[in-house]
Structure 1
């Protein structure tokens, strides 16, 4: 009995091909017409697609992925071969995507995520270090999506923090939020997080140098489901605000210290600005 004589739908597809890498599938697809048909069936039913850290990817090979129409989890992080011309058609035909990671994809634009915003029901969105991300894209996301639970916008930069506050107001069920290195994040944004995302579990605001003890105090007072807080290199955050958080057994990525820094913003000013 040859491999191709084994039941395709009951054995080969779920038990064998599911364990192969994408490279293995492409190699197997080149063996014969029957194997090509088998791999095409596999790609058509594929629900998880991960292509990571690729500078180049033959256009002809990527076109084979047009067979994928049922992707739910997509990870193209650090894929600098991607362009709008490649990505937009692919996303347009995969309307079941719930989790997407396009972090560090430098050669696409905000236009490429329009199909995701308009047609998918996203729960996880990771766009770390996507310098092309615009406030308009964030506002469109807030307008058309409703189910996001995890967002990573680390090291993205915006003209103001207004679009981020709109985001927090809309997605109040966010459990994991990473805003590491976003220069616009300060106490005003942290206050909005505490006010609208009270059920958040994991918050990363490391390298956000505008955040002070006042902002961390908002988190301590409002976010009672918090499990971890990242504030490394937040130079205006001291142990004065972190101590109450540590007492609740929340994981903090900084060792305890006795440093106390002045509070730079008044609570009344920030609250008035949010309203």
Structure 2
């Protein structure tokens, strides 16, 4: 930053100061008076920028930030490589395939992965490499991803032994064989959403219950007319820790299955049986007494609501014959 006044005087002597020396001294003084400034990228990346700044920036803004300069692109890539959670909804309602590939190309420590916004185009070729690089995954949401196949589910089951939560809602490609592979290879599975997986039948659910029932806490079999009492009873006998069960629209489920749930599932907290027309109130009453949250109101409550509705129309009813 140039010599100071003391250094100049010592080198020149008090009587030998030149005009050039005075200019050096003046420049030094101006630099000392100038306010200290630091660029954002001058801050420590791993100690400051990554944990305290970029971790709070939404993914959609990271995509814009990486376009600013090569340095910012390198910073964003370093941040993405250390991601623990990736939710495609943070990018937007529809994430392009190219953006998905760039965002996850270096990620190797993901624990949570939610890809519902990718449902229009996500294929095995897109997903399997991501699963292979992230064996620590504990939660995966693939709801509505209809272009995947049994291969993707096999890669997930084979490569992610710590998987605890999985959503396959509205994935029509999930069949009994795919579910068997999942049941065989995911010992930590606790929550499973199979809503509208209409290829699944009682046999597949029975196998799941026998293989992984001990650890299951939440299960949705909603909107599947192939699931009946045989599957529900086997779940009840093998899932003592089951807390949430969704049977909405399972038309073959009846009172026998619900009675077995009441007998064998002491941890049950919520049960969804709307549109299960063969489930009668006597089979639900035991669960109601235990405080289980049931989405179907008891008949007395329904009658009171009907009477209230009728009372509201009373002034308009002509009682004269």
| Aligned partner of residue 74 in structure 1, secondary structure | strand
If you compute each CA radius of gyration, which structure gives the higher value, 1 or 2?
2
Give structure 1 stretches of 5+ with no counterpart.
Answer: 260-275
Query: Displacement, 1:113?
Result: 2.2
Query: Displacement, 1:20?
Result: 1.3
CA distance in 2, matches of 1:198, 1:257: 29
Query: Displacement, 1:109?
Result: 1.5
1:62 alignment partner in structure 2: 101
Select the structure with the greater relative contact order (CA < 8 A; seq sep ≥ 6): 1
Is the CA contact 1:99–1:122 (under 8 Å) kept in the aligned structure 2?
Answer: yes
| Aligned partner of residue 67 in structure 1, secondary structure | coil
| 1:131 and 2:183 aligned | no
| TM-score after normalising by structure 2 | 0.77
Query: Displacement, 1:243?
Result: 1.0
Is the CA contact 2:165–2:192 (under 8 Å) kept in the aligned structure 1?
Answer: yes
Is the CA contact 2:95–2:117 (under 8 Å) kept in the aligned structure 1?
Answer: no
Query: Displacement, 1:247?
Result: 0.6
| 1:155 and 2:196 aligned | yes
Query: Displacement, 1:54?
Result: 4.6
Say if 1:61 and 1:255 are closer, same or farther in 2 by CA, change over 3 A. Answer: closer
Residues 207-234 of structure 1: CA distance to partner in whole angstroms, max 9, x if unpaired? Answer: 1111111111001111111111111111
Is the CA contact 1:138–1:167 (under 8 Å) kept in the aligned structure 2?
Answer: yes
Give structure 2 stretches of 5+ with no counterpart.
Answer: 1-37, 302-321
Query: Displacement, 1:78?
Result: 4.1
From 153, 156, 159, the equivalent of 1:119 is 159
2:46 alignment partner in structure 1: 9
| 1:33 and 2:70 aligned | yes
Say if 1:3 and 1:56 are closer, same or farther in 2 by CA, change over 3 A. Answer: closer
* Count of aligned residue pairs for this structure pair: 259
Residues 116-159 of structure 1: CA distance to partner in whole angstroms, max 9, x if unpaired? Answer: 11010211111000001121111111222211000000100226
| Aligned partner of residue 128 in structure 1, secondary structure | coil
Is the CA contact 1:128–1:155 (under 8 Å) kept in the aligned structure 2?
Answer: yes
| 1:82 and 2:122 aligned | yes
2:219 alignment partner in structure 1: 177
| TM-score after normalising by structure 1 | 0.89
1:268 alignment partner in structure 2: none
Residues 170-189 of structure 1: CA distance to partner in whole angstroms, max 9, x if unpaired? Answer: 11111111111122211101
More displaced stretch, 155-164 vs 225-234: 155-164
CA distance in 1, matches of 2:201, 2:99: 41
CA distance in 1, matches of 2:94, 2:224: 26
Q: Kindly indicate which of the two structures has a greater share of residues assigned to helix.
A: 2
CA distance in 2, matches of 1:34, 1:56: 24
RMSD: 1.7
Query: Displacement, 1:104?
Result: 0.4
| 1:146 and 2:183 aligned | no
| 1:49 and 2:86 aligned | yes
Say if 1:2 and 1:159 are closer, same or farther in 2 by CA, change over 3 A. Answer: closer
